[in-house]
Structure 1
């Protein structure tokens, strides 16, 4: 399977979760690794968080289009540099988030769970629970999602280089053409 399709599935799953949250569903919102004050605002459906869910849903829709544009014939209409920049940026961002050198992620979660970075005592139990959820769900998801974006970008990079060598593609955007039916 082409990595762009894995990217589409991950992006659509995330987008649908954000849509559900924007429409009022919990949809794992209580497992979102946020500081306590922000988490309370999220669960109370603060208008800023509701708006952010709509924005993230919209970004996910754009992400699905970008991922598909790397492999579908209609994607040749998009400038390749934009597709490559979007794919590499999303992939690297998500991989960095999954490891969490500055917060949640494999590293941050391990530090919280081992006590090397203890949370404030009044928030210790919820912080450990959220770190477990992040370690078991969110960080692996972001890692797979980020790796699929970088694999999509790498595959598109190879396609672009191949077209430059052969003179195919006319310098237009997109990815490999689908085989004729």
Structure 2
């Protein structure tokens, strides 16, 4: 697949991942379970989440809204001309989200492949009072959440690369056009 096609696929992938995540958070905000019991949270926070604590309900509304914005950002990044939206802003959003999601999937932020494997292999023992729950959540995180955030993060970094490359090509193209214009007047 040509590089251009991959970058377009990555933008659509980022939009689809954002839509899926936002749909899940919207469903949770409206009262559905939608994988809430598989969220890798410490036991106290998990209980508050499942009890529909107002703070968690509000956070689901915020995350659903943020996901909607992410869908728009991913789709706007596909446009050739970004006049109404500063390319640097889109570039900063894409790279920030990409790096954050890849770091989350790897385990830098506490959850992720490394932490899950350490817990499941016994290298890092789970809390004694919640050992079974911790193992269950680590399995879900290892098989669902970490790969999802890795895919989403890679899509965002590819969008960032496309935007950066587009900015560099745009600057180069305008310089070439200026040279051609100046050169045509001297003949």
TM-score (norm 1): 0.90
Matches within 5 A, 1:11-90: 11-72=18-79, 75-90=82-97
Establish whether residue 111 from structure 1 lines up as the match of residue 118 from structure 2: yes
Most deviating of 93-102 and 73-82: 73-82
Residue pair 1:97, 1:139 contacting (<8 A) in 2 also: yes
Indicate the RMSD between aligned Cα atoms, in angstroms: 1.3
1:72 Cα deviation (Å)? 2.6
Gap runs ≥5 in structure 2: 176-187
Shift of 1:36: 0.3
Contact 1:112 1:128 in 2 (8 A): yes
Superposed, 1:122-161 pairs within 5 Å as 122-161=129-168
**TM-score normalised according to structure 2 size:** 0.87
Runs of 4+ in 1 over 3 A off after TM superposition: 73-76
Is contact 2:103-2:109 (8 Å) kept?
A: no
CA separation of 1:135 and 1:4: change in aligned 2, threshold 3 A: same
Worse overlay, 125-134 or 58-67: 58-67
In structure 1, stretches of 5+ residues that fail to align are 169-181
Change in 2 beyond 3 A, CA 1:131/1:59: same
For residue 119 of structure 1, give the secondary structure of its aligned residue in structure 2: coil
Greater Rg, structure 1 or structure 2? 2
22-31 or 100-109, which moves further after superposition? Answer: 100-109
1:74, distance to aligned residue in structure 2 (A): 7.1
Give the direction of change, closer, same or farther, for the CA distance of 1:93–1:102 in structure 2 (3 Å limit). Answer: closer
Q: Secondary structure at the match of 2:110?
A: coil
Which residue does the alignment assign to 1:9? 16
For each residue in 1:127-160, what CA deviation from the matched residue of structure 2 results, as whole angstroms up to 9, or x when unmatched? Answer: 0000000000000000000000000110111111
